[in-house]
Structure 1
């Protein structure tokens, strides 16, 4: 006996950890494919595509499932006998995100810097913070600010600088169909106000090219 397939609304109403379950998202993806291609529907070669789509969407939006507090491992300079007050720069940090206007990817590289005061942060945590905010529906301007504000609030540093360079497929694949690169920046504290620190950071960011491996 054939089991009745749940409706899309039932799938949407099913929430797991504040998110729809992978199985239910697969049902939504199947309905989406059938709506887009009503003549052919799910072809033989696409029988498993809805489930693959669901897994891909969960991976692309995994930032919603993470706990930011777990990423913010900081160290007290005094406790660890760290005598360092110069700029710390991490680049290039590759990231992928989803445009919240068209649900198409945008991707690029980040240059992130801070000048420590009393706290420093683990090197890998900076890349994880970038991806925490990138792996969700986003706009590049907000993504840039969120990274900078998180470092400011967690470290209370002397200064913070963030520059993102990204290509947006919603502009490349549709509409104007341009391969332009968008650059956004957020500078805080001394990296914004001190001309020497500002110039040093922006020069380092300028040297970071959008060339993903």
Structure 2
């Protein structure tokens, strides 16, 4: 697993034992697909794939709740705070193919705010795991709720899934949108305000 320093900045260090085990498995997979693992272009592919997979799933080594708690501030602000167009890259747990898109996150403070950079960080921490989009949406919302205890949280994710574009039904332009709301955002007026603020990015 990729090691993380306490400031949550990723560093390019990989566990040697994990890399070796994964590389051997990738080598077997490539061979069983009918390829020659010894030809020039594939000789280092198992190791590269092993490191890539560790990076794509490095969210397992992060604690999203602690990331948020590391930058909480007392502030008497009662209006909606929105962070939109957060890039999302994740791995579908059903076919181990990527899905990617944008997340839009909002909360209404109740005496505490969080450093704005921490919201994209927790989105990434949850996304860099084996996921389904529905659970990812809920996990982001629940983490913000647990850390800040705000008046409400709203999360919308829109993403394209390679398991739909590259295989199966093969619909290249399909976009999946998921949402999760609680507290004040369960009221239609508040929810509409949030949607209007990000509507230029939502279909």
TM-score range, shorter chain: 0.7 to 0.9
Output the CA distance in 2 between the equivalents of 1:21 and 1:192. Answer: 44
**Partner of residue 185 from structure 2, selected from 187, 191, 204:** 191
Stretches of structure 2 that go unaligned for 5 or more consecutive residues are: 1-13
Residue 94 of structure 1 contacts residue 108 of structure 1 at CA under 8 Å; is this kept in 2?
Answer: yes
CA deviation map 1:111-162 (0-9, x unaligned): 0000000211111110011011100110000000000011111110001000
Q: Secondary structure at the match of 1:177?
A: coil
Displacement of 1:20: 6.2
Task: Measure, in 2, the Cα distance between the counterparts of 1:160 and 1:83.
Answer: 17
Residues 1:165 and 2:161 aligned together: no
- The equivalent residue for 1:62 is 58
* Correspondence 1:109 to 2:110: no
Query: Which one of the candidate residues 114, 120, 126 is aligned to 1:121?
Result: 114
CA deviation string 1:44-88 (max 9, x = no partner): 2111111110111011001011133431224242xxxx3311000
Give the CA RMSD over aligned residues: 1.9
Query: TM-score by structure 1 length?
Result: 0.82
Asked if the contact 2:71–2:118 (Cα under 8 Å) also holds between the matched residues in 1, the reply is: no
Moved more, 63-72 or 141-150: 63-72
Contact 2:104/2:155, CA 8 A, preserved across alignment: yes
Structure 1: 5+ residue runs without aligned partners? 1-15
* Alignment map for 1:40-55 (pairs within 5 Å): 40-55=36-51
Shift of 1:209: 5.3
Aligned to 2:10: none
2:19 pairs with 1:25: no
Report the secondary structure of 1:207's partner residue: helix
User: SS state of the match for residue 201, structure 2?
Assistant: coil
The 8 Å contact of residues 74 and 155 in structure 1, kept in 2 or not, is answered as no
For residue 101 of structure 1, give the secondary structure of its aligned residue in structure 2. coil
1:181 and 2:175 correspond? yes
Q: TM-score, normalising length from structure 2? A: 0.86
DSSP 3-state at the match of 1:51: helix
Whether the 8 Å CA contact 1:111–1:208 is kept in 2: the answer is no
